[in-house]
Chains A and B, each alone.
Chain A
Amino acid sequence: MQELIKKGKELFANGTVDRIIGWTRGELPYDREIRVFRCAECFEKDFVYDAFCGANLSKYLIEESGKEGKIGVFLKPCDSYSFAQLIKEHRIKKENVYAVAIECYGKCDSRALADSVEDAIYWITDNGPELKIDTVSGAVVRNTYDYMLEKCAACKTKKHAPGCDETIGDEGEKVDDCTRFDIVAKLEAMTPEERFAFWRGELSRCIRCNACRNVCPACSCEHCVFDNPASGISQKAAADSFEENNFHIIRAFHVAGRCTDCGECSRVCPQHIPLHLLNRKFIKDINELYGEYQAGENPDERAPLTNYTKADCEPSVVYKRGGKN
Chain B
Amino acid sequence: MQHLRKVSPLVWLFAGIAFPFVISDPTYTTIAIFALLFAAAASAWNIFSGYTGYIALGHAAYFGIGGYALAIICQHWQIPGGYTPFYLVPLCGLLAAIASVPLGAIALRTRRHTFVVITIATFFILQLLSYNLRSLTNGSSGIDFPLILQWAPGFYNLPFYYVALLLTVLALGVSWFVRHSKFGLGLLAIRDDEDRALGLGVRTGSSKLIAFVISAFFVGMVGAVYSYFLGSVQPSFTFDALFDVAIALMVFMGGIGTLTGPILGSLVLESSQQYAALNFTQGSGGLYLIMYGSLFLVVILLLPQGIVPSAKALWARYQATHTASVLPDPSGSGGANPVARSAPGDGMGLATPREEAKA
The answer to whether A and B assemble together is no
Q: Which residues of A contact B (CB under 8 A)?
A: none
Q: Which residues of B contact A (CB under 8 A)?
A: none
